[in-house]
Chain A
Amino acid sequence: MIIDGTQEYSVNMGPQHPSTHGVFRMVVHLDGEVVTNVEPKIGYLHRGLEKMAESRTYNQFVPYTDRLDYLAGPHNSLGYVQAVEKLMGIEVPERAEYLRVIFAELGRVASHLFMIASGSLDICGWTPWSYCTRDRERILDLFEMTAGNRMTLNYFRIGGVSHDVPDEFMPALKSFLDDMPEMIEEYYGIFFGNEIAQSRMKSVGILPKELAENLLITGANLRASGVQYDVRKAEPYGIYNRFNFNVPVLYGCDTYDRHFIRLLEIQESRKILQQALRDIPEGPVVAKVPKVIKPQVGKVYHRVENPKGEMGWYIVSNGTTKPARVRIRTGAFVNVQMLPAIVTGWKIQDLVTIFASMDLVLGEVDK
C-alpha cells in the first residue's frame, strides 16, 4: 500500500523523560517527523511556595528560596534577603556583601556548567558531561566547606550571611579561579568547537529579538537573541556596581548561541569573582538586626539576575512577623513560553536540543 502524504499525530513527552530535565511535560503535535506545535504542561513540581511563605516568618522562609532554582541556590536567597532588607532599610556589612557576591557568582558558574553538561548529554556527548561535572564538584566543595551542604546552602541571612567562610576557602577559590581559563578552553574544544555539536545546534530553533521581547523572555536567552540587558548592570543590586565586567551578547538567536552565551558568562563571572577576592575587606558578616523581623507596612519589588532569567520578589508586609504575600517571578517560568515558538517547524530530534538550550529548571518553573 502506498501512503500518500504524512499523518498528523501527537506524542506525549514527559513528565518522566530523561531529556526534560525533571518533570516537564509536553504534548508534541507532529506531521511525520516535523513538529507542528508543542503544548507545554507544567505543575508537576508545584509545591506552593508562595502559600507557604504566608505561614512562615521572614527568616524561616530563607531555606525555601534555595529550593527554587536548586542548581544555583545562593542567587535565589540573595533576591529574597535583599528584598526584605530593602523593605526594612537594613545596611549590610561590607564583608557580607562581598561574600554574597562570591557565592552568587559561584552558583551561576555551577548552574551554567550543569547546563552545558546536560545539554551535551542530550545529544549523547558524554565527555562534556564528565568534564563539566568534575569542575562543578569543585564549586560544590567550596559551598560545602562553608555551609555544610552541597546545593541548598541556606547561607544568607536577612542582614548578612550566617557565618564567615573558613580559612581554607579563599585559597581554594583562588586556585579554582586560576584553573578556570584552562577549563573554559577545554569545554570549547570538546563541546563548542565540536563539529557534531555545531551541526546539531547552529541555526536551529531561532528566537528573533522582537518575539523574545514580546514573550517577555529574560536572562541569557534574551541576550542570545541580541538584547544587551542585564539587571546587574541596568539596575545594580547589592554591590554589583563596583565590579568591572561585560554583558555578553550574541546575535545568532539560535540554539548554539544560547549554549555559547553561558560559556561567555562564566568568563565574566570569573572576572567578578577575581575582583571580589581582591577587594574583600575584613569585618563583621552580619548586621545588627532585630531578633524578630517585623517590617513596617509596605511593599517592595526587587529584581535580581538569576542564572535562568530575571527573578522578581514582590513582598507585601502587613506589619506582622509573617508576610502578607510573597510573589516570586521566576525567569524560567516565563521562558517556557518560547518553546512552541522556537520548536515549530523543526524535527522531533531537534526538540531535545532546543529544549536543553532554554535551560529550564523545574524547581523554578513550578515553584
Chain B
Amino acid sequence: MDVRREKELRDAEAAAEKNILLTSVEKFLNWGRVHSFWPCSFGLACCAIEMASSGDPRYDLSRFGYEVFQASPRQADLMIVAGTLTRKMAPIARRIYDQMPEPKWVIAMGNCACSGGPFADSYAVVPGADSIVPIDVYIPGCPPRPESLMFGMLHLKQKIQNPAKARLIKHVK
C-alpha cells in the first residue's frame, strides 16, 4: 500500500469517527439505488413465470431488496423484458420504457429477449429486444432460472456502482 493511499484511509477513519463520510453525490445515490430496484412487472411469456417464481418464498428476491414489483411503469426504475417480444407488442414495450422515470435500466431476460431465441426466424417476433429498448444486462436461458435472474440483477448492481468499469466492456452488434 502506498503512502498516499494510507493517508487517505487514515483521514477517512478520522472522518468516520466524527460520523462524516465523504463521497460524490452520484456515487451515494447509486449506492442507494442498487440496493432497492423497483422492477416493473412486465411479463411477456414463459420467463414471466420464472420472474414471479423468483419472488416466491423459496427464492426470495426480497433479500436483495428487489421485490417491489410495480404494476405501473411510472413507479419503477427497472424493466425486465421477460419473454418473447413480438412485433405487435414492440411499440407498447417502448411506450412503457418511455413512461419510466430516469434513471432507468433494462434487463433482457431469456433468449427471446436477448436475440429472438428459438423464434428468431418467425414473422411475428422482434429478433432481440435491444433494437427496441436499450438493454443493460442480458440473461440467457429458456427460461432462465430464478437464480440467473438474481445473478443478472447483481451484475446490474455492479454495473451501476462502477459505471467506468462497465463502459469498458463493449458489446459489438
Contacts and interface: CB of A to CB of B under 8 A. Distances in A.
Task: Verify whether A and B have any Cβ pair under 8 Å.
Answer: yes
Interface of A: 15-18, 22-23, 43-49, 51-52, 55, 63-64, 67, 70-71, 114, 129-130, 133-134, 137, 149-152, 362-363
Given A47-B125, A151-B143, A152-B142, A133 B58 contact: yes
B44 A22 contact: yes
Interface string B111-126: 0000000110111110
A363 B57 contact: no
Contact of A52 (B44, B49, B122): B122
Interface of B: 41-46, 48-50, 52-53, 56-58, 69, 71, 73, 83-84, 86, 88-89, 92, 96, 118-119, 121-125, 142-143, 145
B89 A44 contact: yes
Contact of A152 (B71, B89, B125, B143): B143
A114 B46 CA distance: 13
Nearest to A47: B119
A23 B119 contact: no
23 contacts: A17-B71, A18-B71, A45-B44, A45-B86, A45-B89, A46-B86, A46-B88, A47-B122, A48-B124, A48-B125, A51-B122, A52-B121, A55-B121, A114-B49, A133-B52, A133-B56, A134-B57, A134-B58, A137-B56, A137-B58, A150-B145, A151-B143, A152-B142
A188 to B, nearest CB: 20
A67 B46 contact: yes
Nearest to B87: A46
A325 B132 CA distance: 32
Chain B binding surface SS class: loop
A18 B52 CA distance: 11
Contacts of B89: 15, 23, 44-45
B121 to A, nearest CB: 7
4 closest A-B pairs by CB: A70-B46, A133-B56, A48-B122, A18-B71
B93 to A, nearest CB: 8
B55 to A, nearest CB: 9
Contacts of B124: 46-48
A129 B56 contact: yes
Nearest to B119: A47
B73 to A, nearest CB: 8
A238 B74 CA distance: 50
Which of B42, B45, B48, B96: most chain A Cβ within 10 A?
B45
A45 B71 CA distance: 19
Contacts of B50: 150-151
A132 B42 CA distance: 22
B53 A133 contact: yes
A51 B119 CA distance: 11
Given A63-B118, A152-B142, A43 B56 contact: no
Nearest to A367: B124
Contact of B44 (A23, A43, A48): A23
Contacts of B71: 17-18
Given A52-B121, A152-B142, A70 B92 contact: no
A133 B49 CA distance: 11
Given A16-B92, A70-B45, A137-B56, 18 more contacts: A15-B92, A16-B73, A22-B44, A22-B45, A23-B43, A44-B92, A45-B44, A45-B86, A47-B122, A48-B119, A51-B123, A70-B46, A130-B56, A130-B57, A133-B52, A137-B53, A151-B49, A363-B46
Contacts of B69: 18
Contacts of B142: 149, 152
A152 B92 CA distance: 27
B123 A48 contact: yes
A47 B56 contact: no
Contacts of B122: 47-49, 51-52
A161 B48 CA distance: 27
Nearest to B69: A18
Nearest to B48: A22
A63 B118 CA distance: 9
A45 to B, nearest CB: 6
Contacts of A151: 46, 49-50, 143
